[in-house]
A and B are shown apart, each in its own frame.
Chain A
Amino acid sequence: MRRQQILFSVVLASAMSLPAFGQTPPQGAPSREKLIRDLDEVARVASVMVDGDLCQRIMTERASARLTVVDPKNRWAASDDFDVNHENYIQVKKLLIRLSRLVPYPCDVNLWMPLEKSPGKIQILIRNANEMSQFWTWGALHQDTTPAMREVLESGQRRTVVEKSGMVSVLAPVSNGLGDIVGLVEVVSRVSIDAHENVK
């Protein structure tokens, strides 16, 4: 973990102009064009830094097995039984927070993981503090993979998406040690920050 953080700092110091690390990003965001450039750079770094093997070990086996179970006698089983391995989750989440702080304005880096046993389905597995996403249906445990996500998962190329008003997301692939693309990150921000959105 420590070694990864040092490597991370070295890689990024040359890649980007950093705000004072650990500082809460100031409010306000730049133009859409600058957002697209900045977020693409964060996404490029994220593809290198996020450990796909670790991401695959975030969910507990039991929760993974029950994620798509539909049981009329136990309607909330999949949600109620959703569970993660804390250490793996925390390790990846901290990295995503660090990545989001590469830009000096509110930004989230979310982790999305396809459901292995349900082709075409994907879940957001780690969200972050600004609660931004262009893709997450609030409260959904899993959802359909969007065409843009599918493209990234299949091609391994980053993809910028500007669909929801004022929001910019850059999707970037996450790979494991075998070279398989096992997930993707959504690096997201907005031109105009909504301080009250998703405070619920």
Chain B
Amino acid sequence: MLKRCHDFLRLMWALLLIGPFVPVASAAGAELLAYREYLRPDPFGGVVAQDAAPEDLRKGTLNAREGIVVEAPRGGYVSFHLVAKIPQPGPYAFNLEIADRAGKIQADVFREWFHFVDADSHYYPDALIPVALPYRSELPEPDNRIPNQTAQAFWVDVWIPAGATPGVYRGRATLVAGKTRAALPIEVKVLAAVVPPDDAVTLDHNSYGSSWLGDLYPKLRERLGDRFYQSDEFFGLIHAYHRIFYEHRGVYHQLGYGHGGKVGPEFAPALAGSGRGKHIASWSLFDRHYGPLFDGTAFARTRRGPKPIPFVYLPINPEWPASFLWWGEPGYEAEFVNVISEMERHFREKGWTQTYLEMIFNQKKRYKAFPWDGDEVRFAKDNEYYLEYGRLLKKALPPDTPVKFIFRADVSWMMEDQFKTLSGVVKFWVGNSAILSWYPEAPPKLRERGDIVWYYSEAPSVQEVSSAITFNPFKTWLWGVDGYLHWQTVDPGEDPWFHFNGGSVVLAYPGERFGIEGPIPSLRLKIQRNCLQDIALLSSLTRGASADVLKDEAARFYNGTKPVDWWNPRPAMASLPPPEWSDSIFDQADQAHTTAIKNLRPSAWENVREFVFQRASEAK
């Protein structure tokens, strides 16, 4: 009852704010523009050039008709841009309301930060700053500091829980600037279909160490001083990064050791002793870090609900838990087996059995600390270490353990060989995208024997077409692999705000400059999440149609391709030892991939989405 009163008061406030309803304002006054998610606005009332193909503009401009009409299944989000455009510099107020008597449907609104990219001297929206409504500011936005800015964009996320009642929900967006006012009616059509809570593919976001947290949150670090890395705030930040990716249907990884084997204190239990006497001395920091992630309580207040993280990097490396000093000697085995056995026992006793605990070797010999490559083995002789660690891990674990230790390898040059020679040892493969594209027969074979298969590459920069962020999630599903890894997704570069490097890695920005002690999402992360929702829904429809038919149709709608086009022929050089391969041949061998992405239209995913919603409606 109280909630309804509150909603009513908010509605009254909105009416007071805008006065009598006015349709879209004329160009002479304040103007509200609305675009589908794939048309990124610029700060001058236009659309980013990469997204502004005429046909896509026509299709994606939502304010062209009477108002905004969007549709979406339940259990997910529907998103769009609203742009407040005013002809003169000065103050404005923006508001948005969507009426739902049941109080289930919620709108989150974010101000879009326009990043200046030095490379092409253009502005691109990407970081999304949560705002409270009504939002009052002025143009040019004081903190974004864009000369002659005439438009401010807002990203709108409408959350439709699985329990919402299908039907039409109405609302409006309003803009007041000086004496001019504008409003746009909003209509959200909630479909009966429900997006499954679990994803069809895993979208991973990785990072390295935690010192970057001190760099990205300098005020917090200064306030806490030497206590920073052991403070509740520090662990809160780590959990916040897990949460933001989880809320966007993703997974987050943080590697806890360096190429020389140095382990960050919060990534591993503290050890003591040597040889037979080596043991775990303290779980304190480790449990503060991982406890809420392994039991899911770190996600208690999220819309997706509490759930243990599905994957985590272990700190195991050639220098931990056993010292490399004893490599090849009984002491190495003793130290390794002692500590890993203790870890297994600890996890079992705590009930932390839902998470894959990955033994992954990330070191490269080019970084000069170990004689073999753990990451992307290039020399066949290095596989011997994999076999030895496989033996050690097996020895450390009870055969019937419910704790999910898994040996993972990130592979490229040698993958074709390693799939065979490390069969039964490595059970989790993360392959280079281009090289894996030569082996379409590999993923089904690997998955058939129970292995997990992902691939990796970089995120598209903001200078690419907006739909580029959907390319890899879609490819993951088309390829029939389990997941995809974005690399270094928390690194915004030196100055993302005014001299942006394009963001070909970052997908979550530090919120500190906006008074938020935690990450804020990017526009690309939002588009990716919405794509993942659609893939989850599409994948669930395979009950009514074969997966191959759905893939054929979806690829056609996406960019006029067939699933087979997403693979490359195995080049002749693949038969040579990897040290004889060269980059130029390598690039040629990845031609199909690059051609596919070059031909991507801004509305590519929207076309797939329409197909998904249509099939979902037919499936009911």
Binding site for B on A (CB under 8 A): 20-24, 62, 73-77, 79-84, 86, 89-90, 93-94, 97-98, 123-131, 139, 141, 195-200
**How far, in whole Å, are A90 and B211 apart by their CA atoms in the complex?**
30
State whether A22 touches B325 (Cβ < 8 A). yes
Q: Top 8 closest A-B pairs, CB basis?
A: A22-B274, A199-B209, A89-B371, A196-B211, A131-B260, A200-B208, A199-B264, A82-B366
Given that A74-B583, A125-B368, A196-B229 are known contacts, is A97 also in contact with B324, CB under 8 Å in the complex? yes
Kindly list chain B residues whose C-beta atoms are within 8 Å of the C-beta of A23: 273-274
State whether B264 touches A196 (Cβ < 8 A). yes
State whether B381 touches A199 (Cβ < 8 A). no
Residue B1 CB within 8 A of the other chain? no
Q: Which residue of B lies closest to A73 (CB)?
A: B584
Given that A94-B324, A127-B369 are known contacts, is A198 also in contact with B258, CB under 8 Å in the complex? yes
Interface residues of B in 557-589 (CB under 8 A from A): 579, 582-584
State whether A197 touches B371 (Cβ < 8 A). no
Kindly list chain A residues whose C-beta atoms are within 8 Å of the C-beta of B371: 84, 86, 89-90, 93
Kindly list chain B residues whose C-beta atoms are within 8 Å of the C-beta of A24: 271-274, 323
State whether A126 touches B325 (Cβ < 8 A). no
Interface residues of B in 318-374 (CB under 8 A from A): 319, 323-325, 327-328, 331, 365-372
Kindly list chain B residues whose C-beta atoms are within 8 Å of the C-beta of A141: 366
**How far, in whole Å, are A130 and B325 apart by their CA atoms in the complex?**
14
Residue B265 CB within 8 A of the other chain? yes
Shortest Cβ distance from A169 into chain B, in angstroms?
16
State whether A126 touches B209 (Cβ < 8 A). no
Instruction: Count B interface residues, CB 8 Å.
Output: 46
Total A-B contacts with CB atoms under 8 angstroms apart: 113
Residue B439 CB within 8 A of the other chain? no
Residue B214 CB within 8 A of the other chain? yes
State whether A195 touches B229 (Cβ < 8 A). yes
Shortest Cβ distance from A73 into chain B, in angstroms?
5
Q: A interface, by DSSP: helix, strand, loop or mixed?
A: loop
Residue B59 CB within 8 A of the other chain? no
Contact pick for A131, options B210, B214, B262, B331, CB 8 Å: B262
**How far, in whole Å, are A195 and B262 apart by their CA atoms in the complex?**
8
Kindly list chain B residues whose C-beta atoms are within 8 Å of the C-beta of A73: 582-584
Shortest Cβ distance from A61 into chain B, in angstroms?
13
Residue B514 CB within 8 A of the other chain? no
13 further contact pairs, Cβ within 8 A, besides A93-B324, A199-B263: A94-B325, A94-B327, A126-B368, A126-B369, A127-B368, A128-B369, A195-B264, A196-B210, A196-B229, A196-B265, A199-B210, A199-B262, A200-B208
Kindly list chain A residues whose C-beta atoms are within 8 Å of the C-beta of B368: 123-127
State whether B367 touches A127 (Cβ < 8 A). yes
Residue B154 CB within 8 A of the other chain? no
Shortest Cβ distance from A188 into chain B, in angstroms?
12
Residue B275 CB within 8 A of the other chain? yes
State whether A129 touches B381 (Cβ < 8 A). no
Between A22, A93, A126, A128, the greatest number of chain B beta carbons within 10 A of the residue's beta carbon is seen for A22
Shortest Cβ distance from A135 into chain B, in angstroms?
12
